[in-house]
Amino acid sequence: MLKGFFKVPQPSNEIILNYAPGSAERVYLENALADEQNVTTEIPMYIGAQRLSTDVKKPIVAPHRHQQVLAYCNYGDGTHATLAIKAALDAKKTWEEMPWEHRASVFLKAAELISTKYRYRLNARTMLGQSKNAYQAEIDSACELIDFLRFNVHYMAEIYAQQPPISAGGVWNRTEQRPLEGFVFALTPFNFTAIAGNLPCACAMMGNVVVWKPADTQIFAADLIMQVLLEAGLPPGVINLIYADGPQVGDVVFKHPDFAGIHFTGSTNVFQEIWKTIGNHIHLYKSYPRIVGETGGKDFILLHPSADWQAASTALLRGAFEYQGQKCSAASRAYIPASLWAAIKNKLLNDLSTIKMGPPTDFSNFINAVIDEKSFDKVASYLSEVANDDEAEIIYGGNCDKSIGYFVEPTVILTQDPYYKTMCEEIFGPVLSIYVYDDEDFEDMLTVIDHTSIYALTGSVFAQDRLAIAQASEKLKNAAGNFYINDKCTGAVVGQQPFGGARKSGTNDKAGAMVNLLRWVSPRTVKETFDPPTDYRYPFLDSN
């Protein structure tokens, strides 16, 4: 077998297309949207080399038009998890022994296919299945997923190149990065197609085999990701894509002796239950499983009296309401000094009054639907409570309508209590809660922010006063894994701002960075001695 010290292509962030009226990319995307809506596809499970059908055909509907069936997926149960695990383990030996440059090539080709041939179809499926507007789909299912694949290949090469710096005379020290012993379970969310693709791919890239279960509301795009990976040359069985009830799958996965780890993004409660389940079954496993998870957030924007209020207002609107606030990084609580409140309130509410809400197929709509009825009902219940509560008032929005799609107006809540429930609890919808503080209480607000939420995912501070920025950076160092200065708290870019938080927001294993890939390898240190000793006696034993 030929060998070489291979250098992978230098990654750079994928250029974001703007889809302006009259642009070529807009025409291509509109055509892709029409194609995906005109054919109701049947989506199989991908287990080993098989594309499996079942007797249960579960409809996949558009959140913004819930009577519109986009596809039917073949829905399974725990038996399909068993089949997927077997297929993964059967593929393991060949995959992990494949030279790393060939594994790299699979994912580099997948990135190229998404950048070109499949860009508009994948964006269209994300828009229709997850109710994202064109720009939100572009930065997610195209650019971020492409960046994950290309940058992770680069990080993989860097990991393999890391070797012990010293070998003593007559010795050669080296390190091998083995895949984990067993299979990895990837449990992925609805809100980002890029995350859904990255979680299984990051593990597989390092030589692991994977059972992948996406959220039911993301299956429409997940199916196309799997098609792309197979076209890029991914061997059957390396990633196995199944659709089934989570507890049924978990009952199989977390009792299997070859379970080696979980790569998770989703709710805090689910992640904590998974952690407890793994702990209860720890005696069953061949190895201690890797547990990597990113969960919720109650993300903040803090304004200092010296802040640029116009920039801050724009950050509030974009940070809170892009993709209907369904980003774990979304701004959901804000702290504004009294001296700036009148100006910010005026600009924020005026800007909100110009926003349109409706289906993503109408490119003029900034706000689309929340993901499903369960999410709609949760947000609506919060807004109903606030409307009847003297401790807070809705100063913009608050209306909800699920007659056609699951639409919730962008809503701004003003409260006199910095610990009001909507300042503390994760809602995961287009709801921004604001507390106005006295200018001289800025330092006190740092303490309030640090102690308000169980989460520590993202946060930002707006200030022109450098001392204020320094104070906030230090005081809030544990309150956000991604901290922004004079910018909104969303929009982390692969290769630039590795993403993840601590506290109850997850294990902070930074997606889009080398540290994440290191969780999916098990190093082996090799010491080779060229002239080993042949006599056990050390010099100190000589009595003369």
Query: Tens of pLDDT along 12-21?
Result: 999 999 999 9
Q: What is the CA radius of gyration of the chain?
A: 25
Provide CB contacts within 8 A for 460, sequence distance 6+. Answer: 300, 301, 302, 315, 319, 331, 483, 484, 485, 486, 487, 488, 489
User: Tell me, what DSSP letter sits at residue 232?
Assistant: T
143 is a catalytic site residue:
no
The C-alpha atoms of residue 276 and residue 287 are separated, in whole angstroms, by 17
Residue 162 backbone dihedrals phi, psi, to 5 degrees: -75, 120
- ∠ CA 330-192-373 to the nearest 5 degrees? 80
H helices present in 268-409, as ranges: 268-280, 309-321, 338-353, 373-387
**Which pLDDT does position 542 carry in this prediction?**
85
H helices present in 140-215, as ranges: 145-161, 193-205
**Which pLDDT does position 228 carry in this prediction?**
98
301, two tokens: 């924007």
428, two tokens: 């995961």
How many angstroms separate the Cα of 249 from the Cα of each of 60, 77, 80, 218, 351?
20, 7, 8, 17, 45
H helices present in 212-291, as ranges: 219-231, 246-253, 268-280
**Which pLDDT does position 1 carry in this prediction?**
65
Provide CB contacts within 8 A for 36, sequence distance 6+. Answer: 70, 121, 124, 125, 128
201 is a catalytic site residue:
no
**Which pLDDT does position 205 carry in this prediction?**
98
pLDDT in tens, 472-517: 999 999 999 999 999 999 999 999 999 999 999 999 999 999 999 9
Query: What dihedral do alpha carbons 314, 317, 323, 324 form, nearest 10°?
Result: 180
Residues in the chain: 544
368: left (phi over 0), alpha (psi -120 to 50) or beta: beta
Q: Is 148 exposed, middle or buried (0-12, 13-18, 19+ CB in 10 A)?
A: buried
The C-alpha atoms of residue 91 and residue 85 are separated, in whole angstroms, by 10
Fill in the amino acid letter for 164.
P
The C-alpha atoms of residue 435 and residue 185 are separated, in whole angstroms, by 41
Under 8 Å between Cβ of 216 and 187: no
The C-alpha atoms of residue 242 and residue 260 are separated, in whole angstroms, by 18
Diameter of the chain measured on Cα atoms: 98
87, two tokens: 């297929």
23, two tokens: 């642009």
396, two tokens: 């913009």
Buried b (16+ CB within 10 A) or exposed e, 388-405: eeeebebebbbebebeeb
**Which pLDDT does position 4 carry in this prediction?**
86
The C-alpha atoms of residue 324 and residue 510 are separated, in whole angstroms, by 24
The C-alpha atoms of residue 282 and residue 161 are separated, in whole angstroms, by 33
Set 73, 201, 328, 400: catalytic member: 328
The C-alpha atoms of residue 176 and residue 97 are separated, in whole angstroms, by 13
The C-alpha atoms of residue 268 and residue 503 are separated, in whole angstroms, by 11
**Which pLDDT does position 34 carry in this prediction?**
97
DSSP bridge partners of 415: 392, 435
The C-alpha atoms of residue 241 and residue 220 are separated, in whole angstroms, by 12
The C-alpha atoms of residue 121 and residue 221 are separated, in whole angstroms, by 9
Under 8 Å between Cβ of 260 and 181: yes
Residue 410 backbone dihedrals phi, psi, to 5 degrees: -60, 130
Question: Quick one: which of 257, 275, 149 has its CA closest to 204?
Answer: 149
Set 96, 144, 294, 426: catalytic member: 294
Q: Each residue's pLDDT tens digit in the chain (544 positions)?
A: 677 889 999 999 999 999 999 999 999 999 999 999 998 899 999 999 999 999 999 999 999 999 999 999 999 999 999 999 999 999 999 999 999 999 999 999 999 999 999 999 999 999 999 999 999 999 999 999 999 999 999 999 999 999 999 999 999 999 999 999 999 999 999 999 999 999 999 999 999 999 999 999 999 999 999 999 999 999 999 999 999 999 999 999 999 999 999 999 999 999 999 999 999 999 999 999 999 999 999 999 999 999 999 999 999 999 999 999 999 999 999 999 999 999 999 999 999 999 999 999 999 999 999 999 999 999 999 999 999 999 999 999 999 999 999 999 999 999 999 999 999 999 999 999 999 999 999 999 999 999 999 999 999 999 999 999 999 999 999 999 999 999 999 999 999 999 999 999 999 999 999 999 999 999 999 999 999 999 999 989 987 6
